[in-house]
Amino acid sequence: MHGSHAMNKNRDLDLLDRLADAASDAILPHFRKLPGVVNKAETGFDPVTIADRNAELAMRELLAAERPDDAIFGEEYDAVAGTSGRTWILDPIDGTRGFMSGLPTWGVLIALADESGPTLGMMCQPYVGERFVGGAEGATLTHNGETQPLRTRPCADLAEAVLASTGPQHFEPQDYAAFQQVATRCRLVRYGTDCYAYAMLAAGQIDVVVEAGLKPVDIAPFVPIIEAAGGALVDWSGQRIGPTLPHGFAGQVVAVGDPTLLDAVLAALRAA
């Protein structure tokens, strides 16, 4: 790697950590101490809290100061155009329902994308103290000051797989019928995992995640994390999600730790 390229990568990683620090500082004072929740959906329930908004503002302020030429695509505020060809994709709290319930299943999601899609990503869980990072140099988990490599685990048989998804209520009926075709073929199904499902897949604890109705901010950092850890992340037609982010993504996701599982999962989805 050329020196200037390596220096830029190191600067991006350093900034990634400082963005996570800024978001964490804005969020943790409110965890398990929320004064209230706002429903931002016209129909149904799509919660947002003061912690979500403060955390995204903190990250945007840091980016405006240090990367004024980069674009910003965030969950809570309007997109900011850039001139560098790079876009920071921000979800200050993925898993707000878990956050408002006092469960540590939420995370700060940050990705850096270029014309090819996300190239650097982090899932930070400030309360637990875990940071999952992925990029061209590989995937790592940092916890309690110790960093270790992330690797998905082998699982060539769907009947042996652990499947995760945020919850049945997040699927349209037709999509849920397709999901059930996968679920009935797996050993175990876990709900309520939000962004932690993808992190645990990268860490070799979960084998498959199937979801629909996601936004670009929900999945962007997991493209480099999961792919660098040895897994695959595609839509329900089998196409890589990375190049569709953040503007061409349709919301359906299949993540597998062992890429040899992919054909079986996609075939099950088509069986509905």
Annotated binding-site ranges = 75, 91, 93-94, 218
What residue ranges in 25-79 does DSSP mark as E strands? 38-39, 47-48, 71-74
* 31-53 tens-digit pLDDT: 999 776 676 666 665 667 889 99
Cis status, amide bond into 221, omega within 30 of 0? no
Annotated binding-site ranges for Mg(2+) = 75, 91, 93-94, 218
- Laid out side by side, the sheet with 232-234 consists of 188-191, 162-165, 208-211, 253-256, 232-234
* 236-250 tens-digit pLDDT: 999 999 999 999 999
What is the chain's mean pLDDT, rounded? 94
How far is it, in rounded angstroms, from Cα 45 to Cα 164?
22
Residues 6+ apart with CB under 8 A from 151: 139, 204, 229, 230
Spans of all domains in the chain: 3-149, 158-270
pLDDT at 168: 93
* 82-129 tens-digit pLDDT: 999 999 999 999 998 899 999 999 999 999 999 999 999 999 999 999
Domain topology for 158-270: D-Maltodextrin-Binding Protein; domain 2 (3.40.190)
Global pTM reads 0.93
Please give the C-alpha separations between residue 127 and each of 29, 30, 47, 168, in angstroms, as whole numbers. Answer: 10, 11, 20, 27
Statement: residue 2 has pLDDT above 60? no
Statement: residue 5 has pLDDT above 70? no
Cα dihedral sign, 261-266-271-272? positive
Statement: residue 155 has pLDDT above 90? yes
- Counting residues of the chain whose pLDDT is more than 90, the rounded percentage is 87
**CATH number for domain 3-149, candidates 3.10.20.90, 3.30.470.10, 3.40.30.10, 3.30.540.10:** 3.30.540.10
Q: At which residue do the structure tokens 């943790």 appear? A: 28
Residues 6+ apart with CB under 8 A from 68: none
pLDDT at 61: 98
pLDDT at 34: 79
Closest by Cα among 102, 139, 128 to 13: 139
Token pair, residue 205, equals 């604890």
Closest by Cα among 107, 137, 144 to 24: 107
**Do the beta carbons of residue 257 and residue 230 sit within 8 Å?**
yes
pLDDT at 1: 53
